[in-house]
Each structure stands twice: as C-alpha cells, then as structure tokens.
Structure 1
Amino acid sequence: MAIMGLRAIYQKPRTTVSHPEHRKYPYLLRDLVIDRPNQVWCSDITYIPMKRGFLYLVAIMDWFTRKVLSWRLSNTMDAEFCIEALQDALMRYGTPEIFNTDQGSQFTTPRFTGLLEERQIRISMDGRGRWLDNVFIERLWRSLKYECVYLHAFETGSELRVGLTKWVTHYNGQRPHAALAGRTPDEAYHDAPTPSGLRVVTTYYPQSFCIR
C-alpha cells in the first residue's frame, strides 16, 4: 500500500485527547539518571485491533527495569480502567518517586492525579506530541503488537485477555534485556543489583535513545 500510495480511509482511534480544564504537569525526566526500580513509573494507552473492532489497553511500567506492573483492557476511553490499573500497581508494588504519562484526559483527571498526589508521588507529563518522552512504553507496545496481537485474530475480549496475560508473563519473567545485563524485568526488579556502569538517559534524537 505504501509503494502504491494507498491509504485506508477509516479513522485511526486516538488514544491521547487532552482536556482543556485539567491541569498539565511539567516533564521531569529530561537528563535524569534513572538507576533503580520504583524511581520512575510510566503509563500509556494503546488500541488493540481485533477481528471485529478494537479495545483499549493501558499498562503501567517500571521505567528502569521495563517490568509491566499492571494493565487493564476497556472498550471505552473512560478513565476508570486507567485508575484501576494504577490502584492495582500501587497495592502490589508500593509507590514510585515519579509517575510519567502523556497529557491525555485519563491521566490528567483529578481522579487519577489525586491518587498520586495523596501518596506524594511527583507527577511528570510528556510534552505534546513527544512520544520519545515515554519511549520505553512505546517500545513495549511495538513488541506486544508484533509478537502477540498481530499474530492472532482475537475475536473476544476474553480471548485477548488470555493472550495478553501469557505474553506479559513471558515478557516479565523469561525475556532477557540487553539493557539489564541479560536479566529479565522480574529479575532486575526484585533482586538483581544494578548493572555496573548502566545509566539511562533520555536523549532527543528522532527515533532513537541512548543507554550509557
């Protein structure tokens, strides 16, 4: 289609729609050295195409270890499924120092930010249109879709939920990461020491980031 100059006429679902009356927070991760679990968590929403229609998926990830802490599916863009994912992550893993999202209305609603503020978690938000500000969860979406979603024609939400559960379990517990010195996200999050000399620095080059 790209070679022939063809383009689908359907409207792609939008997952980031800001609310003009919600407070926006500054981006806190620029040049920040992220070197331990629970220092920074991040979250994002993506849409999951199915055999008929699509669903929305939200995930919460620990930035340093890439571990998926919690996720939820929804057939609407209401903030409730994001709030449920956040509450689940907080209950199971405690509190991070910083929580980073985009400026979508699900993350800027006082119902969501209030949960963070009452626990004294610093709130960070990407600049508008800057997907690189949340690059690791964007790469999670790419891996999840190419390795799971696009290989299966999920027909129902329950089938999709089973498939995602298997993939996330494998990703967290069995998939080694070069940036984690060959450890899995679970190993890095729970007990393994920080790799010697590893510093994660977000660097703003198109379609790239650097690990030092």
Structure 2
Amino acid sequence: MEFCIEALQETLTHYGSPEIFNTDQGAQFTTPRFTEVLEERQICISRDGRGQWLDNVFIERLWRSLKYECVYLHAFETGSDLCAGLANWISHYNGQRPHMALGGRAPDQAYHDVPMSSGPGVAPDQRADSNAVRMAA
C-alpha cells in the first residue's frame, strides 16, 4: 500500500491531477489513505466492477504484447538495459506498430487522426494483420 501511495503522489506531482482516476477494487486502492490523496485534489474516483474482466482487457493485452514482443525476447542484464528496452518498445508500439483495431494505424496516428498510407504493394488490411514485429533493444 505504501508503494502505491508514494507512486500516486510522485505521479501527481510530476504530471498533475487528472479529472478521473480509475482502479480496480484492490485493498491498496480502497484504503482511506490512498483515496484521501485523490479527494484532496478533487479527483473523481472510478473503480472497475468486481469480476468485470472486460474493464481490464485493453491493458492486459498491452502487457501481453510487451512481454512477448520485448521482455521475453531479450536478456536484459541491468535495470538500465531493461528501462531502455521498454522505452524503445513503447515508442515503437505507439508510433510504428500497426494495430488491427485501429485500421492498421499506430496509436499515435489514430490519436492525431493521421490517415493510413499503404506502402508499395501493401494493402492496409495486410499491414494490419502483420505480426512481423521484432524490436532490437
């Protein structure tokens, strides 16, 4: 619980206060000491419903991709190596990796509403279905 409270305070200091903070119903997030930090900053608290697997499906899919496309493929020897490898993968995931759910666009392209451009001889559907993602950490 202490770790979660410290991480929350550090994040709020560094990035500012969001309008809404969403968590699951874990004890570390429902303790009065944790919720007081949010309430003091007038942040609305949202919690996933008990047993609502769909609430977490997107983040669970992200973690699965991160593990299989980055962590399991590289033998990171130090924390610095791991940090750099994760930063590279996340940058690739958001900036270049095509996503089927986004019509073959990367998240950054979808967020900024950048139209999909097909490469020579590559239809958007083929790009979206590609699993040829290999990152060098």
TM range (shorter): 0.5 to 0.7
Give the aligned length. 113
In the alignment, which residue of structure 1 is the partner of 2:57? Answer: 135
Matched, 1:161 2:83: yes
Secondary structure of 1:123's counterpart equals strand
CA separation in 2, counterparts of 1:121 and 1:183?
32
Relative contact order higher in (CA < 8 Å, ≥ 6 apart): 1
Secondary structure of 2:3's counterpart equals coil
Q: Which has the larger radius of gyration?
A: 2
CA separation in 1, counterparts of 2:12 and 2:28?
11
Secondary structure of 1:78's counterpart equals helix
Cα distance change of structure 1 residues 128 and 144 upon mapping to structure 2, 3 Å threshold: same
- Coordinate RMSD, CA, aligned: 3.0
Identity of aligned residues (%): 69
1:169-193 Cα offsets, whole Å, 9 max, x none, are 111111222322333222233x318
1:148-186 Cα offsets, whole Å, 9 max, x none, are 111122232222111111111111111222322333222
Matched, 1:170 2:92: yes
Structure 1 gap segments, 5+ residues each:
1-18, 20-76, 194-212
Structure showing the higher helix proportion among its residues: 2
CA separation in 2, counterparts of 1:129 and 1:158?
36
The TM-score, its normalising length taken from structure 2, stands at 0.62
1:101–1:134 CA contact under 8 A, matched in 2: no
In the alignment, which residue of structure 1 is the partner of 2:3? Answer: 78
Cα distance change of structure 1 residues 83 and 177 upon mapping to structure 2, 3 Å threshold: farther
The TM-score, its normalising length taken from structure 1, stands at 0.43
In the alignment, which residue of structure 2 is the partner of 1:95? Answer: 18
1:82–1:106 CA contact under 8 A, matched in 2: no
Q: Of 177, 181, 191, which residue of structure 1 is paired with 2:103?
A: 181
Matched, 1:122 2:44: yes
Structure 2 gap segments, 5+ residues each:
115-137
1:95–1:119 CA contact under 8 A, matched in 2: no
